[in-house]
A and B are shown apart, each in its own frame.
Chain A
């Protein structure tokens, strides 16, 4: 008992202080970030679909939400089909993380993002759904979505222009558009996934494939936000993706060749119309 008492009592002073510091520091930011079942370190890229919530209980029940999430998981799987075969096949799956409800980007600190990045997560999605109930119908549907582009947040940690966490609000144009269509039609979601894969490939020095994905992201961003995106964070994203695509092109051609640098030019991605 002597040894156990020493071990238990000895570190208490420093340990409790440390515990208070560590736990206390983390307490205000986290909501309910539970492990995502099925997320393993196995190879392949992953999109995590966390819980969505109805802002008002009259808009939908828990059972309806679960059904929506199941349908959304499948819809996203097919929505991202093109990105699986952009330049050779890549493994990309959509995982539903039941019970996982981040509150803000603050839940994604360096340790969490590192752990997600090493598990191949390229995007995490969560959000809330709103609407106005009229009789049995829901009108003015809207979705306030949150995205964390994990590789961007990991490799550009500390950059105020590139936080890696983004918001988007989608509003249904008519009452015929349901929540599934609202989210499924979002092109920025595809852009974030393409960017995440592109960054991962660039870091793995797979330059050709990296450029393909980064250029796809560039194209989708410009298509969604226009050639001159209005928001500073969108401008920063487009600039980042262009620079990363240029780096990928240089990497695939060989950076030390002066001739290759000339080939790169200002725009490493072909214009949308020139794409096959």
Chain B
């Protein structure tokens, strides 16, 4: 008769062997799938990343393509405008074009090309003939009726320029037009010009002329009388703009 201890030891051995065998078998068997973890933002990003980046690339490409197309379209329009303007500008300067023809041509420029005609017309004021200059002035008046802001901007730039780009006659005509077209935002520019002329008037004539010639093109030639004439024109423009502002209904 086996003793109880012996029997227990044998059972214990059998169990150990069984457990060891089970352990071996368990090592060979696939591990059961762990419980699925909760999905985070990173996982979503990882999952949809390629799609999102693809969409972004497509969007950027679309936007870029649109802008490039728009720029190209604008360039194309500007080029076609330039080409279409050229014969009119040539005609405006034609030595055989009389006053009526010059006026009609300048007005056609203003009507057909709108605000894009402002710069060529300003250029005509500066470099045109005794026939085309008054025509350009009339055309700028007409242009300002329909495209006041861009016309005012171009004229104000001419009046405000101090790099000898424009002559005193161009600046005087531009000042006159700024008043005609009620360009209220140009008042500071005109006031600055007036202050410049006032400061010159306080100097000896030769020095004043020298300083003025540093800022404004000297063709037609500038004289002390010219400066007085110019100052009168600026004063008149400021007066007209002030009067126009006062007559405007408030609110």
How distant is A31 from chain B, measured CB to nearest CB, in Å?
Answer: 8
Q: Is the CB of B130 within 8 A of A204?
A: no
Of B9-17, B52-60, B106-114, B180-188, the stretch lying at the interface with chain A is: B106-114
Q: Is the CB of B129 within 8 A of A35?
A: yes
A27 interfacial by beta-carbon distance below 8 Å: yes
Given contacts A4-B80, A23-B103, A35-B129, A30 and B98 within 8 Å (CB-CB) = yes
Q: Is the CB of B142 within 8 A of A18?
A: yes
A39 interfacial by beta-carbon distance below 8 Å: yes
Q: Is the CB of A34 within 8 A of B104?
A: no
Q: Which of B97, B145, B225 contacts A205 (CB 8 A)?
A: B225
Residue-wise, chain B 101-132 has the 8 Å CB interface mask toward A (1 for contact) of: 00110011011111110000000000001111
Bound together, the chains give a CA A12 to CA B143 distance in angstroms of: 11
**Which B-chain residue is minimally distant from A121 (CB atoms)?**
B130
B146 interfacial by beta-carbon distance below 8 Å: yes
How distant is B56 from chain A, measured CB to nearest CB, in Å?
Answer: 29
Bound together, the chains give a CA A112 to CA B228 distance in angstroms of: 21
Q: What residues of A have a CB within 8 angstroms of the CB of B114 in the complex? A: 7-8, 10-11, 15
Q: What residues of B have a CB within 8 angstroms of the CB of A32 in the complex? A: 98
Q: What is the size category of the interface that chain A forms with chain B?
A: 35 or more
Q: Is the CB of A115 within 8 A of B146?
A: no
Q: What residues of A have a CB within 8 angstroms of the CB of B205 in the complex? A: 205
Residue-wise, chain B 138-155 has the 8 Å CB interface mask toward A (1 for contact) of: 100111011100000000
**Which A-chain residue is minimally distant from B169 (CB atoms)?**
A118
Given contacts A8-B112, A39-B129, A109-B134, A22 and B99 within 8 Å (CB-CB) = no
B77, B130, B228: most-surrounded residue (chain A CB, <10 A): B130
Residue-wise, chain A 90-132 has the 8 Å CB interface mask toward B (1 for contact) of: 0000000001000000010101101110111100000000000
Bound together, the chains give a CA A119 to CA B134 distance in angstroms of: 13
**Which A-chain residue is minimally distant from B125 (CB atoms)?**
A115
Q: What residues of A have a CB within 8 angstroms of the CB of B221 in the complex? A: 41-43
Q: Which of B81, B110, B111 contacts A4 (CB 8 A)?
A: B81
Bound together, the chains give a CA A31 to CA B100 distance in angstroms of: 8
Which residues 36-84 of B have a CB within 8 angstroms of A? 73-74, 77, 80-81
B133 interfacial by beta-carbon distance below 8 Å: yes
Q: What residues of B have a CB within 8 angstroms of the CB of A3 in the complex? A: 73-74, 77
A274 interfacial by beta-carbon distance below 8 Å: no
- Interface on chain B toward A: helix, strand, loop, or mixed SS? helix
Q: Is the CB of A112 within 8 A of B113?
A: no
Which residues 172-227 of A have a CB within 8 angstroms of B? 203-205
Q: What residues of B have a CB within 8 angstroms of the CB of A12 in the complex? A: 111
Q: Is the CB of A30 within 8 A of B104?
A: no
Bound together, the chains give a CA A121 to CA B145 distance in angstroms of: 32
Residue-wise, chain A 50-61 has the 8 Å CB interface mask toward B (1 for contact) of: 000000000000
Q: Is the CB of A205 within 8 A of B98?
A: no
How distant is A45 from chain B, measured CB to nearest CB, in Å?
Answer: 12
How distant is B245 from chain A, measured CB to nearest CB, in Å?
Answer: 23
Q: Which of A4, A16, A22 contacts B138 (CB 8 A)?
A: A22
Q: What residues of A have a CB within 8 angstroms of the CB of B203 in the complex? A: none
Bound together, the chains give a CA A131 to CA B100 distance in angstroms of: 32
How distant is A244 from chain B, measured CB to nearest CB, in Å?
Answer: 13
Q: What residues of B have a CB within 8 angstroms of the CB of A205 in the complex? A: 205, 223-225, 228
How distant is A121 from chain B, measured CB to nearest CB, in Å?
Answer: 8
B163 interfacial by beta-carbon distance below 8 Å: no
**Which A-chain residue is minimally distant from B127 (CB atoms)?**
A41
Q: Is the CB of B129 within 8 A of A111?
A: no
**Which A-chain residue is minimally distant from B108 (CB atoms)?**
A19
Q: What residues of B have a CB within 8 angstroms of the CB of A203 in the complex? A: 225, 228-229
Q: What residues of A have a CB within 8 angstroms of the CB of B171 in the complex? A: none
Bound together, the chains give a CA A16 to CA B39 distance in angstroms of: 70
Across the A-B interface, the 9 shortest Cβ-Cβ residue pairs: A111-B134, A15-B111, A35-B129, A18-B142, A204-B225, A41-B220, A115-B130, A203-B225, A204-B223
Additional pairs, 11, CB under 8 Å, beyond known A19-B110, A114-B134, A118-B220: A3-B77, A7-B114, A7-B115, A8-B113, A11-B114, A19-B108, A23-B103, A26-B99, A35-B95, A35-B132, A118-B169
Q: What are 21 A-B contacts with C-beta separation under 8 Å? A: A1-B77, A4-B81, A14-B146, A15-B142, A15-B143, A16-B111, A18-B107, A18-B111, A22-B141, A26-B100, A26-B103, A34-B96, A35-B97, A42-B219, A43-B220, A111-B134, A112-B130, A120-B220, A204-B224, A205-B223, A205-B224
